[in-house]
Amino acid sequence: MSVVANTVGYLDEDVLLEGYFAYDDAFEGARPVVLIHHAWVGRDEFVANKARKLAELGYLAFATDMYGKGVLGSGPEENAKLMQPFMENRAKLQQRLHAALKAVKLMPWADNDRIAAIGFCFGGLCALDLARTGVDIRGVVSFHGLLVPPDNIPEPKIKAKVLVLHGHDDPLGPPEQMLALQTELTRAGADWQAHVYGLTQHAFTNPAANNPDFGLIYQPVADRRSWQAMQNFLAEIFH
């Protein structure tokens, strides 16, 4: 096994973005694609590590870039400033998501009939919004994602299967938002499932998360369970 990883530039109109891709060159030919959407900090080492782990599982992993080449937040205040324009303009966010999807489809290792997207925190919202645009991909996975629906797609028609992995005590996605999402997904005709983890707050997959005042706490049990749930889901949708 030899995981190959590198960066690749792509464009959303005139904005230069830089994705990080990884694949195992022991596998021959095209392989299923997993897009990875980053949290509010930007495309950092956390998603690069997830890309390498997914490559080891036999996928072409592509960590997308929502902010621009080399743009990373330095802390909560700057992270919020980077994320906010996309929260306020979901059409802009969705256009950027499609730029990444278009870019990965051009890669020689990509099986364009088998594509999924995952995301963490802000990236979970990105994965859900990609599905909300009606794009014809196999599935999306949200890890402790933001659940606020977009105002520009009030009645989505969702083709992708959806897996939501969420902490019951997440202050950024409380139970009433989780219930509203389930209602939205049902109305959208989606094949959806949700795993809600008890005694679990926001950012539960990130070992660096340690800010109880904001509800950001690593939860190793939920981290392990959610990663296994994602693997089962990918195996199912790519079968």
Q: pTM for the complete prediction?
A: 0.98
Q: What is the pLDDT of residues 106-132, one digit of tens each?
A: 999 999 999 999 999 999 999 999 999
Burial label for 97, CB within 10 Å (0-12, 13-18, 19+), is: buried
Q: What is the mean pLDDT of residues 199-203?
A: 98
Question: Element (H or E) spanning 116, and its range?
Answer: strand 110-120
pLDDT at 59: 98
pLDDT at 159: 98
Q: What is the pLDDT of residues 78-116, one digit of tens each?
A: 999 999 999 999 999 999 999 999 999 999 999 999 999
pLDDT at 150: 98
pLDDT at 204: 98
| C-alpha span between 111 and 83 (Å, rounded) | 30
Helix-, strand-, coil-residue percentages of the chain, each rounded to 5: 35, 25, 35
Measured CA angle at 85 (ends 84, 89), to 5 deg = 120
pLDDT at 196: 98
Cross-strand pairs, 34:
61, 116
How many domains is the chain built from?
1
Q: What is the pLDDT of residues 36-58, one digit of tens each?
A: 999 999 999 999 999 999 999 99
The domain of 123 spans: 3-237
Q: What is the pLDDT of residues 211-235, one digit of tens each?
A: 999 999 999 999 999 999 999 999 9
User: Which of helix, strand or coil describes residue 103?
Assistant: helix
If one counts every other C-beta atom within 10 angstroms of the C-beta of residue 224, the result is 11
pLDDT at 18: 98
pLDDT at 120: 98
* CATH code where residue 84 lies: 3.40.50.1820
Look up residue 8 and give its two tokens: 């690749």
Q: What is the pLDDT of residues 151-200, one digit of tens each?
A: 999 999 999 999 999 999 999 999 999 999 999 999 999 999 999 999 99
